Chain A
Amino acid sequence: MKAILTSLILLFAAEGPLADPQEEARAQDLMREIRCVACENEPISNSGSDIAADMRERVRAMVAEGQSNQEIRTWFAERYGDFVLFRPPSRGIGGFLLWGAPFVFLLAGSLLAFAISRNRRPSDRVEAVAPEDSE
């Protein structure tokens, strides 16, 4: 039993947060949107794997160097592929479809709903009923 537990104990020093709380917060936000490449479906902020720890250190180092969020995302995407970004890039046809479709649906749906209802003004025969009365 002890053997199993000691095998869990690794020989690395623990990683530490950045000194500046604002920089640390920015690094944490980025860690939540970068995917651990060795895990099933986890951002590096949650993963206990060694590669995730390395990637977190990389994010902190780049934040400390003053690189922008977009520069850091691009660096990871170039190194590991778009797969690594939980915020998928908006470029290309795919990106346009993915990011645009929800708002296109909403717009088209609104126009359709408006068209349906405007074509059907209440006729004289049906009086408007207050919700209280219909209960």
Chain B
Amino acid sequence: MIEAGHFAAFLALILSFFQAGQGLMGQRRAAGLSAIVAFGAMTFSFVTLIVAFATSDFSVQLVAANSHTLKPFVYKIAGTWGNHEGSMALWCLVGIGFGAVAAKLLATGRPTFEARALGVQGLLNGGALLYLLLASSPFTRLDPAPLQGAGLNPLLQDPALAAHPPMLYLGYVGYSFVFALAAAGLIEGRIDRVWARTARLWALAAFVPLTLGIALGSYWAYYELGWGGWWFWDPVENASLMPWLIGAALLHSVIVTEKRGSFGVWTALLAVLAFCFSMLGAFLVRSGVLTSVHAFAVDPLRGSLLLAGLLVFGGAALILFALRAGKLEAGPNWTTGSREGALMGNNLVLIVATATVLLGTLFPLIAEAAGQTMSVGEPYFNLTFTPIMSLALIALPIVQAWSWGKAALSSLWKWGAAFAGIVAVFWLAGIGPFDIPLLAGIGLAIAVWLIAGAAMEIWRRAKTARRLGKMPARVWGMTLAHAGLGFFVLGAVLETSGRAHTTIALQEGQATSVAGWQLTLDDVESIEGPNWYAERATLTARRGGTVAELQPHKRFYPAAQMPTTETAIHKTGLADLYVALGDGRRNTQGETRWTFEVFLNPFIDLIYLGTILIGLGAFLSMFGRKTKVKEAEA
């Protein structure tokens, strides 16, 4: 069975290169057809892997190394992509899937352009498949087959983390088709309004799952790691944030190209960079170069090949870009105080923010090469990334009403005064009845500013559109995403500045009060799951008339010889009461005291609500009436 899958992947490789050849020669039909057949072959190949995992076929090396008969069925399936080889197979499947969907849906009226985009996509897919088959083959047999597998990393046996890789890869690999569109546009020498209309849709199609994938990963880290936080500026997190930031810049730049025909060069560069940063993310995470520089040496071939892929594809695109950039049309002129200027400001901030994340992530590596060891963590990003991003957030409600070309800036002082007023309110509240630090006050002011700004934008547009129902879906989408950004900032500021963390130690039957809650440890018992043992504490939490039962566990997975924390979270609507079970320690009297990490995380749900709104807003903006572009004018 797995041999058939192996063969199908090989077939997909040949078809991808055939697609590349036909496409680059301008054969739209042949390229499209091979893209669709390649998708069929790769789907079959991936299904054989899933079947091997689902049936615990330990004669397949990958299954033996990453699965176990006692594992719950859903995690047997999710185990397919919960390892290096399987996740690379998923990468190939998603890339080929994007090519096939594009082959069906692309209708720009420019057949050679479409053929070339499919051709470049075929090259990218072919490269990924070569890497899969030569350096990370999931199809290797094991003889003799072991009776039992080694089990999936227990941290990954979780619903959010089962869905996280496919979502993230839909985003990462989705940008491969945006890259292909940019490369095809550059080959043709036409990065114009027709091009931008298509590129924008595909950029959104990648941005939406990337946003949700990052949110899933963050939510998982929040409840699974037991650290009480939702973002740790870990290199692996940064690796997914960078393509997201570039993707966000692209979504704003491509609008200028679509509506005005300007920024074409810049938009094409961002389209190329978005996928380069996705590949960089894959390289950083998959090579192990970041968690420890020495892990790189464990399998230098894989890391070097991923880096080579990044350099070859990224380099080729940049050379193409350098050859063509001068020949692209510039579009109508504009001043700094215009919608173009505003969107350029947005791009500037997002690019500088990306560069900051890149610098902070790679700096320890650079320092190590220079013979020093150092760490760059949360305090660095809080002092650089956060204030830089704040500039764009403060500007957003002001500049969103600016016209193309040249905006009337006479009311600028009113906007400035309005923002200063909101900051002053929070500042006065901070020194008065509420205990709000100044920086948190500014953060809250920005959040309120963004949400109010989104409401005002709807009101302003409604006045001109006369009826809300007549407003285009993309205006709703944009406003929803911007409001989502406001809710995200609100949650992030409230959670970060208001989080209370206490470590407590209790014997069975004892009680203590933490952050306004009375916590009683009822008992600690040993329980058994399908493939784990656990110590489970039962606590009763009381505050006023509210009574909640919390059962944090500490699991131990014998197959992997690894413990995990399963936190218990009680949602009050306004805050999460979050308890993680620590160690039990016996004192000299022979009594066992259990430690608990107790967090009160206010408004953390707003962070995820905001992120979902951003994703939903981006999704909505894909629909509605197309921007009319006359082919002659374009």
Question: B7 contacts the other chain (Cβ, under 8 Å)?
Answer: no
Query: Which of A14, A102, A125 lies in contact with B585, CB distance below 8 A?
Result: A14
Is A78 an interface residue when CB atoms closer than 8 A count as contact? no
Nearest CB of A to B583, in Å: 6
Q: Given A5-B533, A105-B352, are A122 and B584 neighbors across the interface (CB < 8 Å)?
A: no
CB distance from B149 to the nearest CB of A (A): 20
Binding site of B, secondary structure by majority: helix, strand, loop or mixed? mixed
Q: Give residues of chain A (110-135) contacting chain B, Cβ–Cβ below 8 Å.
A: 110, 113-114, 116-118, 120-123, 125-132, 134-135
Minimum C-beta distance from B18 to chain A (A): 42
Q: Is B110 an interface residue (CB 8 A)?
A: no
Closest chain A CB from B199 CB (angstroms):
18
In the complex, how many angstroms separate the beta carbon of A2 from the nearest chain B beta carbon?
8
Residue of A nearest to B259 (CB): A134
Q: Mark B315-353, 1 if CB is under 8 A from A, else 0.
A: 000000000000000101111101111001100110110
CB distance from A62 to the nearest CB of B (A): 18
- Closest residue of chain B to A40 (Cβ to Cβ) is B291
Task: Return chain B residues, CB-CB under 8 Å to A17.
Answer: 502-503
Q: Give the Cβ gap from B206 to chain A, nearest Cβ, in Å.
A: 24
A28 to chain B, nearest CB (A): 6
With an 8 A cutoff between CB atoms, is B464 at the interface?
A: yes
Q: B378: CB under 8 A from chain A?
A: yes
A123 in complex: contacting residue of B332, B385, B402, CB < 8 Å = B332
Interface status of B231 (Cβ within 8 A of chain A): no
Which among B35-43, B367-375, B448-456, B611-619 touches the partner chain?
B367-375
A99 and B324 alpha carbons, distance in the complex (Å): 36
Instruction: Mark interface residues in A43-63 (1 if CB within 8 Å of B CB, else 0).
Output: 101101000000000000000
**Is A135 touching B475 in the complex (CB atoms < 8 A)?**
yes
Q: Is the pair B291, A35 in contact by a Cβ cutoff of 8 Å?
A: no
B394 CB, nearest partner CB in chain A, Å:
14
Q: How many residues of B contact A (CB 8 A)?
A: 78
Q: Are A14 and B373 in contact (CB under 8 A)?
A: no
Query: What 0/1 readout, one digit per residue, does chain B (574-588) give for beta carbons within 8 Å of chain A?
Result: 000000001111110
Q: B371-413 vs A: 1/0 string, CB under 8 Å? A: 0111111111001110010000000000001111111000000
List residues of chain B with CB within 8 A of the CB of A15: 503
- The interface residues of chain A lying within 8 Å CB-to-CB of B332 are 122-123, 125-126
When distances are taken between beta carbons in the complex, the residues of chain A under 8 Å from B586 are 9, 11
Q: Is the CB of A11 within 8 A of B377?
A: no
Q: Is A87 in the interface zone, CB < 8 Å from B?
A: yes
Q: Measured between C-beta atoms, what is the minimum distance from A87 to chain B in Å?
A: 4
Stretch at the interface among B91-99, B300-308, B355-363, B602-610: B355-363
Q: Which residues of B contact A43 (CB under 8 A)?
A: 377-378
Do the beta carbons of B336 and A86 come within 8 Å of each other?
no
The answer to whether B461 has its CB under 8 Å from any CB of chain A is: yes
Contact among A32, A35, A94 with B367 in the assembled complex (CB-CB below 8 Å): A94
- Contact A102 B583, beta carbon cutoff 8 Å: no
Chain B residues in 8 Å Cβ range of A11: 585-586
A-B contact count (CB 8 A): 184
Contact status B379-A33, CB under 8 Å: yes
State which residues 550-566 of B face A: CB under 8 Å.
554, 556, 558, 563
Choose among B227, B336, B403, B407 the residue that contacts A118 (Cβ–Cβ < 8 A): B336
Known A-B contacts A11-B585, A128-B403, A132-B464; A98 and B535 likewise in contact (beta carbons under 8 Å)? no
Chain B nearest CB, measured from A60 CB (Å): 11
Establish whether residues B348 and A113, one from each chain, have CB atoms under 8 Å apart when the complex forms: yes
Q: Is the CB of B388 within 8 A of A102?
A: yes
Q: Which residue of B lies closest to A105 (CB)?
A: B352
CB atoms of A88 and B375 under 8 A apart? yes
Q: By the criterion CB–CB under 8 Å, are B372 and A86 in contact?
A: no
Beta-carbon contact of B593 and A32 below 8 Å: no
Residues of A within 8 A of B526 (CB): 1-2, 5
Q: Are A122 and B334 in contact (CB under 8 A)?
A: yes
B465 near A: Cβ within 8 Å?
yes
Taking CB as reference atom, which chain B residue is nearest A15?
Answer: B503
CA separation between A103 and B35, bound complex, in Å? 45
Instruction: Tell me the bound Cα distance from A75 to B297 in angstroms.
Output: 33
> Which residues of chain A are near B380, meaning CB under 8 Å?
86-88, 98-99
A120 to B406, CA, bound (A): 11
Q: Is the CB of A102 within 8 A of B359?
A: yes
Contact with A along B402-427 (1 / 0, CB 8 A): 11111100000000000000000000
Contacts of B330 in A (CB 8 A): 120
> Which chain B residues lie closer than 8 Å to A14 at the CB level?
503, 505, 585, 593, 595
Structural contact, A10 and B583, CB atoms closer than 8 A: yes
CB–CB A109/B585 < 8 A: no
CA distance A46 to B503 in the complex (A): 11
- Is there a chain A Cβ closer than 8 Å to B264's Cβ? no
Q: Is the CB of B375 within 8 A of A122?
A: no
With A33-B377, A41-B234 known as contacts, the answer to whether A121 contacts B335 (CB < 8 A) is yes
Q: Is B501 close to A, CB under 8 A?
A: yes
CA distance A122 to B554 in the complex (A): 65
Complex contact A94–B352 (CB within 8 A): no
B111 at the interface (CB under 8 A from A): no
Q: A86-B377, A94-B370, A109-B351 are in contact. List 8 more A-B contacts (CB 8 A).
A: A81-B373, A86-B378, A87-B379, A88-B375, A98-B376, A102-B356, A110-B348, A128-B407
Spell out A's residues near B (CB within 8 Å).
1-2, 4-5, 8-17, 28, 32-33, 35, 40-43, 45-46, 48, 81-88, 94, 98-99, 101-103, 105-106, 109-110, 113-114, 116-118, 120-123, 125-132, 134-135
Mind listing 14 A-B residue pairs with CB under 8 Å? A8-B556, A35-B375, A41-B234, A82-B372, A88-B363, A98-B359, A98-B363, A99-B384, A102-B385, A122-B405, A130-B403, A131-B403, A134-B404, A135-B474
